[in-house]
Structures are given as C-alpha cells and as structure tokens.
Amino acid sequence: MATTVAEPAVRQPQRTRVPLPPKLRAAGWYRAALFSVLGFGFAVGLTALVRWLMHQHPVVEAHAITIVALLAVPTFFLVGIGTCDYWLYWAAGRPTRAEDHATHGAYSWRDYFRVNTDHKVIGIQYTVTSFFFLFVGGLLAMLIRAQLSKPGMQFLTPEQYNGVFSVHASVLIFLFVIPVFAGLANFVIPLMIGAPDMAFPRLNALSYWLLPMGGVLMLMSFLAPGGAFATGWTAYAPLSTTMPLGQLFFSVGVQFAGFSSIFTALNFLVTIITMRAPGMSFFRLPLLVWANFSTSLLVVIATPFIASSQFFILLDTSLHFHFFDAFVGAGKNGNVLMYQHVFWFYSHPAVYIMMLPGFGIISEILAVKSRKPIFGYRMMAFSLLAIVVLGFTVWAHHMFVSGMPPWIRIPMMITTAIISIPTGIKVFSWLATLWRGVLHMDTPMLFALGFLTMFTLGGISGVMLAMVPFDIHVSQTYFIVAHIHYVLFGGSLMTIFAGVYYWFPKMTGRMFDDRLGRWHFWLTFVFANLTFGPMHIIGLQGMPRRVAEYAAKFATWNLFISVCSFILGLTMLIFLWNIISSWRGGPRAAANPWRALTLEWQVSSPPPVFNFDAVPTVVGGPYEYGVPGAVHGIFKPAAEAKAVAAGAFTRPPSQESH
C-alpha cells in the first residue's frame, strides 16, 4: 500500500513586532504628549470626514477644526497620561489589573506630577495648581489696575482690556476659588471622618486632571485670532455667539472645569455618606464636613446648568441653532433672556459654592483657637442646608435691569433678603463662640477674624443690592465690583489663607513662619480694604464698571486704588516665600500642634499612606473643648485597620463600618 508523504508546510515569515519604548507604552507625560498629537490628528480627520459626507469642500475651516480640537486634544491627553487606563481595560474586555496601590501615595516630588489615587496627594495637587492660577489671575488684575491708574487709554486697547478682565475673573472663579476648596477638602475630609481614602480614588484622580485642562484652554484664548474671550465671566448671549474664536476657549474650558467639580462633588457625597468611621453620626461630623456636604449638593444640582448654557453657546456658534437669536423670522425665534436665566440659576448658587467650604474652615479654626465648643452646632449645620435650598430661589436678582417681567422682581427681592438669615445665624454663632474664649491670635486665627470683618461688610452691601431701587441705581457701577470683591476676596480668599496655614503642618509635616504669616495677614487686610473700600464711593458717584477709560473726576480715587492694589499684589510674595521655604526646611511639625480634637490631628504629620494605623471609633463630638476628659475618637487594633485599608479599593465598605 502506497503511503503518501505529506509535503512540508511552507513556513511563513515571522512578523517581528517592534515594541514601543517603555516611556511611550507606560502612562505618563511621554504618552500624554503622543496622545495629544493623535488627538489633533483625530480632530482634523473627523472634521474633514464630516465635511466630505455633507458634500462640502474637504478643506477644514479654522472655526470647525478649533471646536473639535478643543474637545479632542485635552481628552486624548487625559487618556494618555493614564487617568482612564483601568476603565479602558475593562471596556475592552481585557483583564483589569489588580490594584497593587502602585499609584497610591507620594514618596518623592515626582509623584505629584503623575496620576495618583491618594486623596492627600490629590489634595495637594489641587491646592498648588489652584494657587498657580491665583497668581496668574492676580497678574491680570495688576494689568487692569495699571490701565485704570489714570484717565484715557494706556497700553491696552479696549478689546485687549475686555479680554484681560474676562480671563482674570474666569480664572479666579473657575480655576482658583472653587477648586482650591476642593483641594483642601480632598486632603482633610477622609481624615476627619475616619476613612482610608475617598470612595472613588480613580475618579478623584480624573477630577483633578480635568482642572488644568480647563485652565490651559482659558489662558490659550490669548493666542486665538482676535484675542481672548472678551464677554466677561458671564459670557452673555447673544454677544458671546458673535465673538471671535477666543470665545470658544472659554465655552469649552468651562466644560472641563465643570466636570471636574461634578465628579469631585459626587465623590464627596458618597464618601461622607458611606465611609464614616464607626460611631461617626451626622451630628458628630465636624462642620467642615457639613459645609462640603452642602457644597457638593449645590455643585451636583447647579453645575449642569452652566455646562448647558455654554453647550447652547457652542450650538449657536457652530451649528446656528439660534437659541439666543432675538431676530424673529425665518425660524429664528430665540430668547435672549433665556441664557441669563440658565446661567444665573447656576451662578448664584456658585457664590455659595465659593463660600460654604470657607464657613466650615472658619468654624474649625475658631473653635480650636478660642478653646470653646461651637455655639449652636446643630443650628450651624441646618443653616448650611437652608442656604442650599434658598440659593436656588434668588438667581434673578442679578437680572433686575435685564428687561425681565417686573412681577418677578418682588419675590426675588424677598428671597434675597431671606437668605441673609442663615448667613447671619453663622456670623452670630461665630461671635458667640469667641465670646469669653481663650483666644490664640496666631496666623490662622488672624485670617479667620479678617474674614469675619470683610465678609460682614460684603454681606451688608449684599442686602443693600437686594433692594430693587438701589440695585437699579448702582447695577452698572463700581459698587458692584466692590461688593463682589469684599465677598470673594474678603470672604473666600481670607478663609483659604486661614485653611492653608491651619492645615499646612498636617499636609507637609513642617511648621510655617508665624511672624511672616502675621505680616502677610496685616498687609493683606489693610491694603485689601484700601483697594476695594473706595470702590463703593466712586460707584455711588457713577464710576461705570467694565470700562477701559473713565471721566477725569474719578482720577484721584482710581490712582489711589491702583497703588494700593499693587502693594496688595506684592504681599502675596510674602505668602509664597513663607510656604516654599517652610515646606523645604521649616521646623518639624508635631502630630497635633494646635491641640485639636478632630481625627485628622490624631495621626502623624503628614499622615500615613492609608491615614490610620488603627481604625478610629468616634465616641464624642468634635468641639468639646473645655469639657474635662473629652475624647472625639479612639482607635481599634492595627490588624483590623490594615484589613480595612487593603480592601478599601476592592470592595465597598461594609455596613458595620458606617
């Protein structure tokens, strides 16, 4: 029987796969740069494809490519730097990598420049990045005051001036005040409630990296043809729908900053509700936690409104939807006032988003530095929730001169006056806490008292502006500029400085120079009042706001304001030097240099990687100063703490630990 010999198979040439260099395969700055270039290519290709499908000339227009690139390049960058690796593995059906905590914690300065899932690292990233934008916004403020130092046009054209003050306001609101509070809370709140980390560490990391994307886009608007966006931080339509290309940078940048805020707020809510230590009931929470819980509710409910307002602007600008086109006919029956209603439905609650965390900071500092319990703790907590509810009932007081129906003015005036009641409760509770206390007048305490003074003055002018006749009289004057700076500089910035100085030992393990801190406070307090106080006077005299030149009769006061503002700007250098030099070589901080009771001061400075070597059990209130033998928390054995830390990222916390 014949046998058939099989012919040998023809060997196919082996394809040798050339691996990418490790720096391009691993998440990090090299891969982020590569992905950014790919993002721009994706934007060009997608725009050309859509134009071809619509039977248009395939050559892309600058306007179209800019819109797509502004969305694509930052998104590709975020993917490249590694914020989405875990989720992309899961979505692709590939085995997700076991959490080995390799991206958790900071062991060198380089760990602050990569994606990190440790809430303490993210808190410092948030805070430092936000202060960078503070100094950028402050430099823009110096340009504004240099322009206004004397009548007539100086070195900026009217268009350039509009761009400078618009970016100044937007950067300081969206990229400093709101996120710096998120940074301080990111570091402190898990420690305060006895949690090993935030509920969603990867989402927390993504929330941070969205922030610089929004900031870079806003600052890059200066490079756009026609200059930076020049419609103010409000970006009123239909003006913003007819502006040059730079306006798009604002509309898209706000989207990134808004998503950052929403993700962070959701994380805070879940963390506070589900990850509190045993015994930590809601009425044992420190008031900073209450404040951030209330703020997070505001952010989750309100921030989608500003995102939608800017989305409408993009649709009007790019696809000609005519949402805000007042011309009636040919299908164009938009409503100009609709933009203001949508925008201010977010932006008045945003005022409290920029204030409530500061209220919590002040409550912590005043209790510790006066060695007394907070007066009316439960009423303070309920007043925070009252502000959340009432904050959504007052938005139209920004529109008293907009041409809206007159009948809505009266209820908005009433609700605006009513919302001052829960704020007044807080002021009187703080004063009662100070009464007959043993006051420690160090740097955090000085800034807390400076906040009480300036915020109260800003609140008084706010009640004045709630009255319709007075508001109509001063609406377009420098009185409004004075009011918002007393509220945001005297209210928000004073609390931010107080919080940074107060938790600086815990964050860095070093003590700051208290003598430099006192110099920083007194110079800031004096020259802030000398800068913003006279604005009330010239505003009542008729000095218009948002103008690059003005009548000669306002020259003396404007020169005085400009000189004081320059000195105020220079005082920030004292703060910068104090923080940097102390962080590098300040005296080592004790675990609890302020003798506070809250949990974050019961661990080392800086804290361990997973916060606690033993699981805390809360047995008392956070402010029982002067009560003999008062204890806020005790600690369980270390073995149980390690088990909790090991499972913190792989399973939700058990109900027993709540």
Q: List domains and CATH numbers for the chain.
A: 24-91 (no CATH), 112-585 (1.20.210.10), 601-657 (no CATH)
CB 217 within 8 A of CB 251: no
Identify which of 638, 616, 485, 464 has the alpha carbon closest to the alpha carbon of residue 561: 485
515 contacts: CB under 8 Å, gap ≥ 6: none
Distances from the Cα of 460 to the Cαs of 344, 351, 417, in angstroms? 21, 16, 11
Residue with token string 């709140």: 189
650 pLDDT more than 80: no
**From 57-71, 135-149, 310-324, the region with the lowest mean pLDDT:** 57-71
pLDDT in tens, 535-581: 999 999 999 999 988 999 999 999 999 999 999 999 999 999 999 99
**From 9-23, 255-269, 454-468, the region with the lowest mean pLDDT:** 9-23
CB 616 within 8 A of CB 635: yes
Q: Determine the residue type at 587.
A: P
Angle (nearest 5°) at CA 622 between 616 and 625 = 125
Percent of the chain with pLDDT over 90: 56
273 contacts: CB under 8 Å, gap ≥ 6: none
**Residues facing residue 616 across a β-bridge:** 635
Helix and strand tally (H, E) in the chain? 22, 2
Identify which of 472, 428, 68, 34 has the alpha carbon closest to the alpha carbon of residue 248: 68
499 pLDDT more than 90: yes
67 pLDDT more than 50: yes
CB 458 within 8 A of CB 354: no
Per 3-state DSSP, the chain is made up of helix, strand and coil in percentages (nearest 5) of: 65, 0, 30
Question: 496 pLDDT band (50/70/90 cuts)?
Answer: very high
Question: 50 pLDDT band (50/70/90 cuts)?
Answer: confident
Q: What is the CA radius of gyration of the chain?
A: 27
- Residues 492, 40: Cα–Cα separation, whole Å: 38
Distances from the Cα of 266 to the Cαs of 80, 296, 560, in angstroms? 24, 7, 45
pLDDT (0 to 100) of residue 108 = 83
Identify which of 220, 204, 211 has the alpha carbon closest to the alpha carbon of residue 175: 211
pLDDT (0 to 100) of residue 614 = 82
- Quote the tokens at residue 95: 């085995």
Angle (nearest 5°) at CA 482 between 481 and 485 = 85
